[in-house]
Amino acid sequence: MAEGSQELTFGRFLKFWRGVHSISQEELAHRLDSSPRHISRLENGSSRPSETMIEDIASALSLKQRDRNHLRISAGYSPKQEKVDFHASELKWLRKAMNLSLKAMDPYPSALLDSSSNILMVNRAWVGFYQATIPAAELQSVSNHYDFLFSRKGAGTLLTGWQDTLSMIVMSMQQTTLLSNDPEDQRLLDAFMANPNVPEDWAQRAAKLEPMASFRVQAEFQGRLEKFYSVNQTIGALGPAAYISEPKLTLSTLYPEDETLDMSFIVSEELTHPLLNY
């Protein structure tokens, strides 16, 4: 990134939002108890805003959370995002849409995850796929995708290249924690790090790898080990803040590597699970 480019990016955002609200540099300076000269320096990149100044500007311009975070990112600061309750009444439309998405994934096992990898919803194929090998009581109590995936039988029996996969997941969680400085993110990281399967050299492994939206797994199906692709699709807002906008949802699906493998029968029987909603 060229020297000053972050400041220039912030200046473009600031000038844009002043224009949206028809506010002059003089008026904004008055609202901030600052000077027009300082606002001008912020816009032309000769001065970098403090984090406090960004929050004051966002308030003075009545920016909502999405646009406030865009302003923070443009100046090189991490976004601030309040957690959203996926089960809140105002998100009924989203839950309905996610149900339709999960249903459309049948007969491929799919689960909807939140930003902490907690499972929010599953489809019929997910229940049918796992109930053949997982005791009913255990399957009914599953709540976290990664705990289920890596602790159920041990990573070595389930994943191909599991050390690298685990290392990439830990690195993702670690960098999320560094950015957010959120105690809850740290708690989740510590809990995951307690998994005995996490390689001691996870940081060195992950540093050599680029993040992937999918990885290969082996799982028992019809009495034999079959290879699948575990594919993750992010469901979020539009724009630069898409990956940090709550609720941060991921749709995780297993697709068979063998395209001729018939999985349709796993959704043909009676299936129930607390997280199956259709």
What is the amino acid identity at position 20?
Answer: V
pLDDT for 132:
86
pLDDT one-digit tens code per residue, 96-124:
999 999 999 999 999 999 988 899 999 99
Is residue 84 one of the residues assigned to a domain?
Answer: no
Domain shared by 160 and 196, yes or no: yes
Q: How many CB atoms neighbour CB 6 within 10 A? A: 17
Residue ending a domain, choose from 39, 74, 109:
74
Helices (H) and strands (E) in the chain, counts: 13, 5
Domain shared by 93 and 209, yes or no: yes
pLDDT one-digit tens code per residue, 226-275:
999 989 898 876 665 555 567 889 999 999 999 999 999 999 989 999 99
For the chain, the domain total comes to: 2
Domain that holds residue 53: 5-74
pLDDT one-digit tens code per residue, 145-178:
888 877 665 555 556 667 888 898 899 889 888 8
Task: Name the pLDDT band for 30 (thresholds 50, 70, 90).
Answer: very high
What is the amino acid identity at position 254?
Answer: L
Angle at 160 between CA 156 and CA 164, to 5 degrees: 85
What is the amino acid identity at position 8?
Answer: L
Domain shared by 49 and 173, yes or no: no
Domain shared by 69 and 94, yes or no: no
pLDDT for 188:
85
Please say if the pLDDT value at position 1 is more than 50: no
pLDDT for 75:
92
Name residue, tokens 């991490």.
78
For the entire predicted model, the pTM comes to 0.75
Kindly calculate the radius of gyration of the chain based on its CA atoms and give it in whole angstroms.
23
Hey, what are 19's tokens?
């224009």
Hey, what are 193's tokens?
């790090």
* Mean of all residue pLDDT scores within the chain: 87
